[in-house]
Amino acid sequence: MVVKLIDRFNAMLKDVSASPGFGHVHYLNLRNTLKHGANYEKDWENELHPTEQGFALVSKKFAELIAKI
Protein backbone atom coordinates (compact mmCIF):
# COMPACT_ATOMS: atom_id res chain seq x y z
CA MET A 1 0.00 0.00 0.00
CA VAL A 2 1.26 3.48 -0.84
CA VAL A 3 0.55 4.86 2.64
CA LYS A 4 2.96 2.36 4.17
CA LEU A 5 5.63 3.27 1.61
CA ILE A 6 5.23 6.99 2.36
CA ASP A 7 5.32 6.30 6.12
CA ARG A 8 8.55 4.32 5.76
CA PHE A 9 10.10 7.01 3.56
CA ASN A 10 9.16 9.68 6.12
CA ALA A 11 10.68 7.63 8.92
CA MET A 12 13.89 7.38 6.93
CA LEU A 13 13.97 11.15 6.33
CA LYS A 14 13.39 11.81 10.02
CA ASP A 15 16.25 9.46 10.92
CA VAL A 16 18.59 11.18 8.46
CA SER A 17 17.81 14.60 9.91
CA ALA A 18 18.64 13.27 13.40
CA SER A 19 21.94 11.71 12.32
CA PRO A 20 25.28 13.18 13.42
CA GLY A 21 26.57 15.66 10.88
CA PHE A 22 23.11 16.51 9.60
CA GLY A 23 22.23 19.26 12.07
CA HIS A 24 21.58 21.56 9.13
CA VAL A 25 18.81 19.24 7.87
CA HIS A 26 15.30 19.78 9.20
CA TYR A 27 12.55 17.19 8.96
CA LEU A 28 9.07 18.50 8.25
CA ASN A 29 6.22 16.03 8.41
CA LEU A 30 3.62 17.15 5.87
CA ARG A 31 1.53 14.00 6.06
CA ASN A 32 -2.10 14.72 6.96
CA THR A 33 -1.64 18.41 6.15
CA LEU A 34 -4.12 18.16 3.30
CA LYS A 35 -7.56 16.64 3.66
CA HIS A 36 -8.02 13.09 2.42
CA GLY A 37 -11.56 12.50 3.57
CA ALA A 38 -14.95 13.67 2.41
CA ASN A 39 -13.91 17.22 1.40
CA TYR A 40 -10.52 16.38 -0.08
CA GLU A 41 -11.31 18.40 -3.24
CA LYS A 42 -10.73 21.64 -1.31
CA ASP A 43 -7.07 20.72 -0.83
CA TRP A 44 -6.31 18.54 -3.85
CA GLU A 45 -6.44 19.59 -7.52
CA ASN A 46 -5.63 16.02 -8.57
CA GLU A 47 -3.75 13.01 -7.18
CA LEU A 48 -0.42 14.86 -7.12
CA HIS A 49 -1.06 18.58 -6.91
CA PRO A 50 -2.65 20.64 -4.16
CA THR A 51 -5.14 23.40 -4.84
CA GLU A 52 -4.28 26.99 -3.99
CA GLN A 53 -5.77 26.37 -0.54
CA GLY A 54 -3.71 23.18 -0.21
CA PHE A 55 -0.49 24.97 -1.13
CA ALA A 56 -1.31 27.61 1.48
CA LEU A 57 -1.58 24.91 4.16
CA VAL A 58 1.75 23.39 3.14
CA SER A 59 3.41 26.82 2.94
CA LYS A 60 2.19 27.64 6.43
CA LYS A 61 3.97 24.59 7.84
CA PHE A 62 7.21 25.55 6.06
CA ALA A 63 6.93 29.13 7.37
CA GLU A 64 6.38 27.90 10.94
CA LEU A 65 9.51 25.73 10.74
CA ILE A 66 11.61 28.49 9.19
CA ALA A 67 10.50 30.91 11.91
CA LYS A 68 11.89 28.51 14.54
CA ILE A 69 15.31 28.26 12.89
Number of domains making up the chain: 1
- Express each pLDDT in 12-34 by its tens digit: 999 999 999 999 999 999 999 99
The model's pTM: 0.82
Residue 3: per-residue pLDDT = 87
* pLDDT, mean of residues 45-63: 95
Taking the CA of residue 27 as centre, how many other CA atoms within 13 Å lie in the half-sphere pointing to its CB? 14
Which pLDDT value is given to residue 26? Answer: 95
**Domain around 34:** 2-68
Among 24, 23, 31, CA closest to 5: 31
